[in-house]
Structure 1
Amino acid sequence: MSTVSRQLPDYYEYQEDGTIYHLKQVRYPEHMPLLHRWMHEPHVIPQWQLNLPLVPLSVYYEKMLADDHHRLYLVGINGQDMGYTEIYEGARDRLGRYYDGDPDDLGWHLLFGETSAFGKGHLRPVIRMLSYFIFEHSNAKKIVGEPDHTVKPYAVVVAELCYELQRLIPMPEKTAALYYCHRETFLNKFPKIPQPQVSASASESSIA
């Protein structure tokens, strides 16, 4: 079955202010040591709660990669992998229990694993890249988000990037802030969609 998320490209590049950002799909088991290290970083643990030993974390990712309602990517900056994102289908995700979703809705979760990326002004371009990526490669009319409402820096940044707060949602592990980013609003403010470089090589497309 070719789901909305499975139709997304395996690789994407975006350039802003001379910096090249990329998304490349997670490959298993190749990327497990990197993800394991990031999930044990002190700044990652509170939000992600995946600071598991390597074997349980590998089992978790085996299940994640088999689930066809999302795609998992590494986020790179100037050729170096710096973070991780999950792009998911909102209506088929657990979030679908909490809002009236459209089948084409896509959302994302994001972390910067490398602390060297902090304070360099990368968050806004990466979120802009994710938004372009989704709108260019899907029929999504909106992007959804559900971060913990206590993460204040997120709220400030996404408001600048056309993510509009809808309401608070009580979830088991957090009170989430439901955001929508509408295609028309985003592309009116940021009209130039970059041309991605999509790799068709087997090395980029295998998940094994």
Structure 2
Amino acid sequence: MTTLSRQLPDFYEYHENETQYYLRQMKYPDDMALVHKWMHEPHVIPQWQLNKSETELKVYYEKMLADDHHRILIVGVNGEDVGYTEIYEGKRDRLGLYYDGDELDLGWHLLFGEKSVFGKGYLRPVMRLLSFYIFENAASAKIVGEPDHSVKPYAVVVEDMCYEAQRLIPMPEKTAMLYYCFRETFYAKFGHYLKDSKAFQHQQLAKAVS
């Protein structure tokens, strides 16, 4: 049986302000050198704690890739791979131990590995990319999240992106804030972004074939 997360496409493209954002399926083992580099960046280590040898990372990702409630994707901006995301099924994830989830709930974890993208305003567009990727390709009524509640700047961003705080969750490595992003609320605020993206892609296609 194909699981909810495995039904998601291997590639998804989104445009905002004429900037291209994309998700592509991580290629194993081809992308391991890139992921290894990112996991050893000083800004990534504290949150992800995967600053391991390349061999240890391969073992870790072989297990991840064999787990059918995850999708591992590379995030790109204007043709350059800049980050990494994990899309997961909320009820089948460890998060399912802490909340009463719906079978169609999906969530994501995100890191920007390339420091060159910092300060360029990419976070919100990439969060819209992830949300549209899920809502456009799955019947999920909501997206879930569980970031560390102590990261206050992140809290401001997610709430602006229609992620609504629910309650604190005591997890072994952190106290997380459970967030829900409801499909109807998200599209009411950001649906026009997707229409603009599709219109831009049609324009680019028309230029390419003319």
Q: TM tier, shorter chain?
A: over 0.9
**Partner SS, residue 110 of structure 1:** strand
Q: Which stretch shows the higher mean deviation, 183-192 or 39-48?
A: 183-192
Describe the superposition over 1:62-94 as per-residue Cα deviations: whole angstroms up to 9, x where unpaired.
Answer: 010110001000000000000000000000000
Q: Give % identity.
A: 70
Q: Is 2:145 the partner of 1:112?
A: no
Alignment match, 1:96: 96
CA distance in 2, matches of 1:2, 1:163: 28
Match of 1:173, as an amino acid?
A: E
Alignment match, 2:71: 71
Q: Is 2:126 the partner of 1:126?
A: yes
Alignment match, 2:151: 151
Alignment match, 2:206: none
Alignment match, 1:58: 58
Match of 1:144, as an amino acid?
A: V
**Partner SS, residue 76 of structure 1:** strand
**Partner SS, residue 191 of structure 1:** helix
Between structure 1 and structure 2, the one with the greater Rg is 2
CA distance in 2, matches of 1:93, 1:12: 23
Select the structure that is richer in helix: 2
- How many residue pairs match? The answer is 197
Q: RCO higher in 1 or 2 (8 Å CA, sep ≥ 6)?
A: 1
Alignment match, 2:42: 42
Describe the superposition over 1:4-60 as per-residue Cα deviations: whole angstroms up to 9, x where unpaired.
Answer: 000000000000011100000101000000000000000000000000001011000
Q: Is 2:96 the partner of 1:85?
A: no
Match of 1:18, as an amino acid?
A: E
Instruction: Tell me the TM-score normalized by structure 2.
Output: 0.92
Describe the superposition over 1:168-205 as per-residue Cα deviations: whole angstroms up to 9, x where unpaired.
Answer: 1000000001000000100111123344x9xxxxxxxx
Match of 2:139, as an amino acid?
A: N
Alignment match, 1:4: 4
Report the CA distance between 1:2 and its aligned residue: 0.3
CA distance in 2, matches of 1:128, 1:159: 13
Alignment match, 1:201: none
CA distance in 2, matches of 1:86, 1:191: 23
**Partner SS, residue 190 of structure 1:** helix
Instruction: Tell me the TM-score normalized by structure 1.
Output: 0.93
Alignment match, 1:183: 183
Describe the superposition over 1:102-143 as per-residue Cα deviations: whole angstroms up to 9, x where unpaired.
Answer: 000000000000000100000000001100110000010000
Alignment match, 2:22: 22
**Partner SS, residue 191 of structure 2:** coil
The alignment's C-alpha RMSD in Å is 1.2
Match of 2:111, as an amino acid?
A: L
